[in-house]
Amino acid sequence: MLEAIAAIVKALGYAAALTGAGLAIARVSLAWGLKTPLHLPTSLVRSAGSLLVLTSCATALIFFLRLGGDADAPTLAAIFLSPLGVALGLQLIGGLWLALKTERRTAPIGAVLILVAFGVVGHSASRGMLTSITIILHVTAAAWWCGGLWILLATGRTASTNFPELVGRFSRQAVWVVMALLIAALTTATLLLEFRIDLALAYQQALLTKLGLTALLLALAGVNRVVLTPQLAGQDRARIRLRRMIVGELLLFAAIISATAYITTYLSPHDTTDAAHAHGGEVQVSGPIAIVDPWAPAMPGGAPTGAGYLTIVNNQPVEDRLIAASSPWAERVTLHASSTDRGIARMRDLNALPITAHGQVTLQPGVYHLMFEGLYAPFVAGDTVPLTLTFQRVGKVDVQLTVLPLGARPAESHRH
């Protein structure tokens, strides 16, 4: 439920950012040298700035709740002393700037702050400076396009005589802006995917959907430029049709924004759980904590103890810890680390197992394992063993261990 709310808030924030920042920067380029004053929908700019302030605050609150809702030092540091905190601060200040200085020449300063925020946090920022730069260029071009459409729509609804000139100016500038948008988008995608194309991955499938929506947007823009724009000088109906087509472009922008919010909320270009899907692994639980390939070996001779193995993936931006485990099949479940010293296998109890931010830990023979003590029934190949893992931040996560024949491993079972 919290993830769905986060995606909705993120979509609203993206829409507010593109609209507010786009109107501020598009106004500068379109009004340059224009003989008559440019009609700017100031109420829309103020609304977009105010909405961005609200979504920034809501995002911080959602992030706080996702981290457990405890106002401890690690949680507060993760919110305010992290790239996310910097990005939210830039959006908050930029939104306030646009809302308060809508009609002033300094309004583009707020737009710059908002656009820079996109390069500070998210998938792009995690891949280095180059992807941060390309995503800022990409978002800036998209914002200009979106803001320019709003200006055209507002001007087209008035009796302004400079509407054909304004449309022509927008069309000429849009050629270069769209070119920059596409180059930046392709460069960013290539860097994020590390030059690997695998459409079996959910992230790349979602990118392909977004690419299809962008292609529709470009096709609609092409019709506007080639067919309708030349007719504006002599036909009033062309003006009406163009306004309708502009509304269509804005609706496609809304669809692209929604797709982007979904991608950045639920998917990741370097998500280890997604990679496990591609290589035949079983991702049984996904979310802030993901569980991959949970399994247990069959125990010979009805042994009263058993072992459990799995991979824990921490998709959170802060460290979490596995602090307890339990199962209705055993009196108790404990966590152990294995090691070999001078050819002698040793085992020690662990009170907790830390998993770093965006990291993973694999419980496997010879390293870590869960020990099931006082089994009520022995592990037999083909059984599924219920298990509850308790994490310090996420809380309880329920999984099912698949019991494999003695000596088998999950990769072998997937191949068969």
Nearest to 290, CA basis, from 268, 273, 277: 273
Q: What are the structure tokens assigned to 238, written together?
A: 């062309």
Residue range 219-248: average pLDDT?
A: 78
Residue 120 corresponds to which amino acid? V
Question: 324 and 213 share a domain?
Answer: no
Residue 185 pLDDT grade (very low, low, confident, very high; cuts 50, 70, 90): confident
pLDDT in the model for residue 141: 95
pLDDT of 283 reads 65
Cβ atoms of 298 and 379 within 8 Å: the answer is: yes
Per-residue confidence (pLDDT) for residue 32, from 0 to 100: 79
Tokens found for residue 71: 């106002």
Distance in angstroms (rounded) separating the CA atoms of residues 407 and 14: 51
Q: Are 388 and 397 in contact (CB under 8 A)?
A: yes
Q: Residue 412: which H helix or E strand, with range?
A: helix 410-415
Q: Which residue is it, tokens 């609200």?
A: 54
Residues 127 and 194 in one domain: yes
Q: Are residues 285 and 168 in the same domain?
A: no
In contact, 390 and 396? CB cutoff 8 Å: yes
SS3 label, residue 383: coil
The CATH number linked to 360 is 2.60.40.1890
Q: How does pLDDT run across 240-274, given as a tens digit for each residue?
A: 888 888 999 999 999 999 998 888 877 765 555 55
> Are 156 and 236 members of one domain?
yes
**What pTM was estimated for this model as a whole?**
0.70
H-state helical runs in 105-162: 107-117, 129-156
Which pLDDT score is estimated for 233? Answer: 62
Pair 303, 211 in one domain: no
**Tokens 């125990």 belong to residue:** 299
Asked if pLDDT for residue 416 goes beyond 50, the answer is: no
pLDDT of 149 over the 80 cut: yes
One domain for residues 94 and 229: yes
Task: Mean pLDDT check: name the lowest of 182-186, 199-203, 219-223, 401-405.
Answer: 199-203
278 and 262 part of one domain:
no
168, 219: one domain: yes
Tokens 């978002």 belong to residue:
139
State residue 230's pLDDT score.
73
Of 234, 252, 270, the one marking the end of a domain is: 270
Domain range enclosing 183: 2-270
* End residue of a domain, out of 270, 305, 320: 270
**How many domains is the chain partitioned into structurally?**
2
Which residue type does 110 have? G
Domain identity same for 306 and 235: no
The residues, ordered by sequence, that sit 6+ positions from 410 with a Cβ below 8 Å of its Cβ are 281, 282, 293, 295, 402, 404
Q: Average the pLDDT over each of 92-96, 108-112, 156-160, 175-179 and give the range with the smallest value.
A: 156-160
Q: Which helix (H) or strand (E) holds 223?
A: helix 202-223
**Partners of residue 341 on adjacent β-strands:** 344
Q: How many helices (H) and strands (E) does the chain have?
A: 11, 11
Q: Please tell me whether residues 80 and 140 are part of one structural domain.
A: yes
Contact 365, 406 (CB under 8 A): no
Residues 215 and 332 in one domain: no
State the greatest distance between any 2 C-alpha atoms of the chain, in Å, as a whole number. Answer: 92
CA distances from 387 to 96, 324, 330, 352, 369 (A): 49, 11, 10, 17, 13
Beta-bridge partners for 399:
387
User: Integer distance in angstroms from the first to the last C-alpha of the chain?
Assistant: 36
25 pLDDT band, cuts 50/70/90, is very high
Under 8 Å CB-to-CB from 188, ≥6 apart: which residues? 124, 131, 134, 135, 138
- The 8-class DSSP code of residue 69 comes to S
Looking at 251, 270, 289, the residue that finishes a domain is 270
pLDDT tens for each residue of 319-329: 889 999 999 88
Pairwise CA distance, residues 170 & 152, whole Å: 8
Looking at the fold, whether 240 and 382 belong to one and the same domain comes out as: no
Quote the CA–CA distance of 143 and 150 in Å, as a whole number: 11
The label of the residue with tokens 């599924």 reads: 384
Name which of 184, 67, 65, 48 is nearest 124 in CA terms: 184
Amino acid (one-letter) located at 249: E
Residue 234: count other Cβ atoms within 10 Å of its Cβ: 8
